[in-house]
Amino acid sequence: MISPIRKRPPFSLKSQPGFGTIAGLCFVMLYAPIITLVVYSFNAGKYISMWEGFSLQWYVAAWGNEAVQDATIRSLYLAAQASVYSTILATMAALGTTRTPPFRGLTAIYAMINQPLMVPEIVTAVALLILFAMIKSLTGIQGMVYLVIAHTAFCIPFAYLPIRARLEGMDLILETAAADLYATPWKTFWRITLPLLWPGIIAGAMLAFVISLDDVVITEFVKSSGQETLPTYMLGQLRRVITPEINAISTLLLGLSMLVVCVLFFIERKFGK
């Protein structure tokens, strides 16, 4: 009698030898420096590698530092504008690539939209520097507009991915029913598509905001005198003298990033289905 064929259990990465050890090491390598940064932001001494007691003096110093205040306001202003503009453009791009039949060149459009993700950031920064230098020499226009354009272009793919994923996961029945009831494309979008798309739009906008707020390379190449953002200010301070004030500022940025992640998780859990 032929014995029945036993099915092999499905492959599980967790069951592989050494998985727990490697995962633990990865978590230690990832979070140990962050924990150290947060702990030493409360250091009473002026040396970042020598613990001299608990104190909030560096948070107070950062709060009262006018340069930090100006850089923070400028960073938030820049990130807010870049997130709004990039999310609008990303939403238009996502609708144009998911709500139309497949056509020749669609793959090339995907590649163009996601170009900032594939090309090294330094290449994008140098290209923008050359382009904006030419525009400035021809028009004489100065100001924050170049930073806003650069951050918007860089943040588009980060906003595009969650919006496109949301569109691809949406059921087309309601949109089709609205079209059958003679609703115009604009009315269908405004009454059906947009309300269902809001979670993806909010997620894309928040992701773009964090990316813009954290950017250093593009900002360092594109900014002009007097346009320091918080990351570039911190980089300049690290080149001069390192104090726990930098740790305090970094901890506050970490807290802001964690808050955004928590909000994204809440939105995805509540409205993702």
In a domain, 11, yes or no: no
In a domain, 60, yes or no: no
49 with 92, same domain: the answer is no
Closest CA to 206 of 149, 266, 118, 150: 266
pLDDT at 9: 67
Question: Would you place residue 155 in the very low, low, confident or very high pLDDT band (cuts 50, 70, 90)?
Answer: very high
pTM for this model (two decimals)? 0.80
24 with 73, same domain: the answer is no
39 with 73, same domain: the answer is no
23 with 130, same domain: the answer is no
Q: The tokens of 93 are what?
A: 């791009």
User: pLDDT per residue over 129-142, tens digit each?
Assistant: 999 999 888 888 88
User: pLDDT per residue over 39-89, tens digit each?
Assistant: 888 888 777 777 888 888 888 888 888 888 888 889 989 999 999 999 999
In a domain, 156, yes or no: yes
State which amino acid sits at residue 65.
N
226 with 146, same domain: the answer is yes
22 with 139, same domain: the answer is no
Q: Confirm if 187 and 178 have CB atoms less than 8 A apart.
A: yes
51 with 71, same domain: the answer is no
37 with 134, same domain: the answer is no
Q: What is the CATH number of the domain that holds 161?
A: 1.10.3720.10
Q: The tokens of 178 are what?
A: 């609205």
Q: The tokens of 104 are what?
A: 């020749």
34 with 86, same domain: the answer is no
User: pLDDT per residue over 169-216, tens digit each?
Assistant: 887 788 778 877 777 878 888 888 888 888 889 888 988 998 998 888
Residue 149 — φ and ψ, nearest 5°?
-65, -45
In a domain, 245, yes or no: yes
Domain region containing 24: 18-55
pLDDT at 78: 92
Question: Would you place residue 8 in the very low, low, confident or very high pLDDT band (cuts 50, 70, 90)?
Answer: low
User: pLDDT per residue over 79-124, tens digit each?
Assistant: 999 999 999 999 999 888 887 777 787 778 888 888 888 888 899 8
pLDDT at 101: 76
**Helices and strands, counts by H and E, the chain:** 13, 0
pLDDT at 72: 87
User: pLDDT per residue over 223-239, tens digit each?
Assistant: 887 888 888 888 887 77
pLDDT at 7: 64
In a domain, 31, yes or no: yes
| CA–CA separation, 132 and 150 (whole Å) | 9
Residue 43 — φ and ψ, nearest 5°?
-75, 135
The count of domains in the chain is 2
43 with 97, same domain: the answer is no
